[in-house]
Structure 1
Amino acid sequence: MLLVMAATYAAARWFADVHPVVGFVGAFAEAAMVGGLADWFAVTALFRHPMGLPIPHTAIIPRNKDRIGDTLAQFIRDNFLIPRVIAHRMRHFDLAGAAGRFLANPSGEAGRMRGGASRLIADVLGALDPERLGGMVRDAFYDRMRALQISPLLGQALDAAMAEGRHKPVIDAFVAWSAEALDDNAHLIRDMVHERANALLRFTGLDETIANSIVNGLNKMLAEMSTNPEHPMRVRAEEALANLAWDLQYDPEMQAKVAGVRDQLLDNPAIVRWLDGLWEQTRAGLLRAARNPDTALAGRLGEAMRALGTTLGEDAALKHTVNRFARRAVAGAAASYGDSAVKLVSETVRGWDAQTITDRLESAVGRDLQYIRINGTLVGGLVGVALHTIDVLLL
């Protein structure tokens, strides 16, 4: 447009005497060049020094990028991250209804969204280093287990079991196992008595009588224990269990022993391999479920999720509660982390070099700024025509 106006102005000067109208054309072209150049200078001065000359008050954006970043961050903070404003805007947002439709509808938009989310989860799980991630999971499990006081928990569990009588079947099973073990190994007792008896006992056959008496006595005691809940040996066994429960809860020495056993188990290579295998199976299962969400949600889990979605869509009270919770959670997050978000914006802009922010802003608004130059050219030309008209009328 500048070139056209320059050519028009030159032609008007050349043919100035042909007709009075030519003067108006020349005045339009002359003023249009001035207006276009002025607006070119103004727009260029926002982003850089015109023609590279360090003219004062030019290259405004590069010189003030830090202040612009702070102002932008504060604008976001004051207009978007105010808890009251967020709560008001979210009052009309039905998060519970959207979640209900997402869970209840296995196809349509919800299905595509679920498929996209599943692919994203699968990609994330597949991209993570399995050994490193498995090590992190194992270390977290070890840390939690080593910090856990197992001994008091075992003592409390044993106390609760005894209070409900659940220890009695265990004692019965132990008595029955002892009776079977005695029957199967009675010959060992006879052999032991025979080997330790002197020659006189062997000669008279009293060693066999003593061995039989021992075996028969043990069988009788075990039979009485199995039928008599108040048998003294059963009572002693229950007392021993009660003492064990107390020691597990309150005896530091017993607690240290249990902790030592726990640490030995955790350091056992077989346990480490078992945990690694368990994690790999879990990871493989998650990948299969993520890659095929329809299969994962086809069973009871899918039925439960769809039922939850239907409930969220139909239960007005539950929907109101969920929406209120979401509104408060987002407003609370804005109140707690709004300053951090503002600081992130400000520091990000500060971290940009002047050329980067200039290029980004110019690429964002450059097309519109071109119209400022065009309008400046046209408006300047019209002002030139008006001034020339006044000049002709006055003279």
Structure 2
Amino acid sequence: MMPSSLAAPANGGPRTMRIVATGLLVVMAALYVLSRFMEPRHSGWGFVRAFAEAAMVGGLADWFAVTALFRHPLGLPIPHTAIIPRNKDRIGATLASFLKDNFLTPRVVARRMRRMDVANAAGRFLATPTEGGRLRAGASRLAANVLESLDQDRLGGMVKGAIAGRLRALNAAPLIGQAIAAAMQNKRHLPVMDALIQWGSKVLLRNEATVRAMVSQRSGSILRWTGLDERIGQAVIDGLYKLLDDMATDPDHPLRIKAEEGLAQLAYDLQRDPDMQARVDRIRDELLDNPAIALWIDGLWESARAGMLRAVRDPQAALAGKLGEMLRQLGGTLQQDARLAKTINSFVRRAVVGAVATYGDQIVTLVSETIRGWDARTITGRLENAVGRDLQYIRVNGTVVGGLVGVLIHLIDRAVG
């Protein structure tokens, strides 16, 4: 452990520590020169000289060792130097094998996943928004940037094409038939029939004059001369009113029964008649080819995109409404319902283990090929940035420890002499 007085600041990077280590070596060299001149004047300088001399040897040895990891010291092609650049392919393969054997095996992943309570962690995140504020803000910015950076024409075309494709692939006739059959079975069609009868009464009320005119036009001249056409027209209107009134008040009216039989037959044909299903498919395709439907799909996409942008730009506002309340309730449920949490954790564990079993070898190959594709300068720079600061500490420690060993040897030499 190096003395705390020689330690660099906690935030010192590899470059700072390299300057400290090299500066310490220069100081030891200067101290050695000074002690050589001062030693004849006082024997205590012998200890200083021994410390500085051994410190230079230790510092230079560790400088050579650290430098030899990444490059040739002083640019000289000394054997067994520039170890990392020369062996980067082997390092990549070894690292990939290490990942595969120690991390990316189903048995290891399953054992580690058993210790993780994913459901409880997700529940805390959803139930307490403040805990994930920074993560949520970062994710929101990322999502907004992704949405805004994508080509809207291409993305919109893909989404709208997917919507239209799904609608065209939808076999609507059986679904409609099943919905009608289910509605009739539960008597939910009766309010619709009542509404249609009431609508018919209102239409007849607004068009009485039209009915009278039609009867008059089709009556003979004698009927019009005698005024019987008006009486016949009024009788027709009264008869229609009575028919509609009887249908509204009598659930077993013959026309209502006929209408229900026709509705039941329609539900049957929609589910089982190929000709009826083909007719519905043609109607579906004609609707989708209509420019109005295309505009509706365009508006649907634009509204969805605008809503997503509003939500990701201001996640707190989005989570303050019903969506936020739903997510908080879900978070509370995940924390309180042990059975649901167990199911979710089991599902996540199986999914992760399955992904590792399926894609583990591909991940290992990706790591190995990525490192193999780096040039020597890239891998050297990345490793130096990752561990360079600690390696410079080795130089500092070597200088200090070497000096202390030198003092110890000098002390033993004086005692023996």
Q: Tell me which interval the TM-score lies in, with the shorter structure as reference length.
A: 0.7 to 0.9
Asked whether 1:73 is paired with 2:82, we answer no
Aligned 1:86-105 pairs, distance under 5 A: 86-105=109-128
Q: Is the 8 Å Cα contact of residues 155 and 247 (structure 1) preserved in structure 2?
A: yes
Equivalent residue for 2:357, pick from 328, 335, 342? 335
How many angstroms apart in 2 are the aligned matches of 1:368 and 1:111? 34
Letter in 1 for 2:121: A
Residue in structure 2 matching 1:275, options 297, 307, 318: 297
Q: Give the conservation status (yes or no) of the 8 Å contact 2:335–2:341.
A: yes
Task: Assess if the C-alpha contact under 8 Å between 1:6 and 1:33 holds in 2.
Answer: no
Amino acid at match of 2:127: A
1:231 maps to 2:253: yes
* 2: CA distance, partners of 1:5 / 1:295: 65
Give the stretch that moved more between structures: 258-267 or 57-66. Answer: 57-66
Query: In 2, Cα distance between the equivalents of 1:282 and 1:308?
Result: 24
What does 1:363-382 correspond to in 2, within 5 Å?
A: 363-367=385-389, 369=391, 375=398
Amino acid at match of 1:269: P
Q: Any idea what the Cα deviations from partners look like across 1:331-366, whole Å, max 9, x if unmatched?
A: 333223222221221121122122222332344444
The residue type paired with residue 172 of structure 1 is D
Shift of residue 125 of structure 1?
3.8
Is 1:195 paired with 2:202?
Answer: no
Give yes or no for the alignment of 1:284 onto 2:306: yes
Shift in CA distance, 241/371, structure 1 to aligned 2, threshold 3 Å: closer
Does the CA contact (< 8 Å) of 1:189 and 1:211 recur in 2? yes
Q: Give the aligned residue type for 1:290.
A: V
Partner of 1:353: 375
Q: CA deviation at 1:318?
A: 4.5
Structure 1 residue 147 displacement after superposition: 0.9
1:324: Cα distance to partner?
4.0
Equivalent residues of 1:146, 1:263 under 8 A apart: yes
The residue aligned with 2:366 is 344
Q: 1:367 to 1:204 in 2, by over 3 A?
A: closer
Map Cα deviations across residues 136-178 of structure 1 (whole Å, 9 max, x no partner): 3322211211111111100111111122222233223323322
- Length, aligned pairs only: 389
Q: Distance in 1 between matches of 2:169 and 2:195?
A: 34
Decide whether aligned partners of structure 1 residues 8 and 316 sit closer, same or farther in structure 2, where only a CA change above 3 A counts.
Answer: same
In structure 2, stretches of 5+ residues that fail to align are 1-24, 38-47
Between 166-175 and 118-127, the greater mean CA deviation after superposition: 118-127
Shift of 1:243: 1.9
Q: What pairs with 1:57-136 in structure 2 (closer than 5 Å)?
A: 59-107=82-130, 109-136=131-158
Equivalence map 1:139-150=2 (5 Å): 139-150=161-172
Partners of 2:28 and 2:56 within 8 A in 1:
no
Number of the residue aligned with 1:21: none
- The CA deviation at 1:242 is 1.8
- Structure 2 equivalent of residue 160 of structure 1: 182
Contact 1:2 1:36 in 2 (8 A): no
- Counterpart of 1:302 (choices 324, 338, 351) is 324
Change (3 A) 1:166 1:119: same
Unaligned runs of 5+ in 1: 15-24
Q: Which amino acid aligns with 1:274?
A: W
Aligned-partner Cα distance in 1 for 2:194–2:186: 16
Deviations along 1:167-218, one digit per CA (max 9) or x if unpaired, are 2332233233223323433333333343344545545555555544544443
- How much is the aligned-residue C-alpha RMSD, in angstroms? 4.5
Structure 2 residue identity aligned to 1:74: S
Contact 1:82 1:334 survives alignment (8 Å): yes
2:185 is the alignment partner of 1:169: no
Contact 2:31–2:49 under 8 Å retained in 1: no
Q: Which deviates more, 247-256 or 296-305? A: 296-305
Normalising by structure 1, what TM-score?
A: 0.76
> 2: distance between equivalents of 1:206 and 1:230?
35
Partner AA of 1:226 in structure 2: A
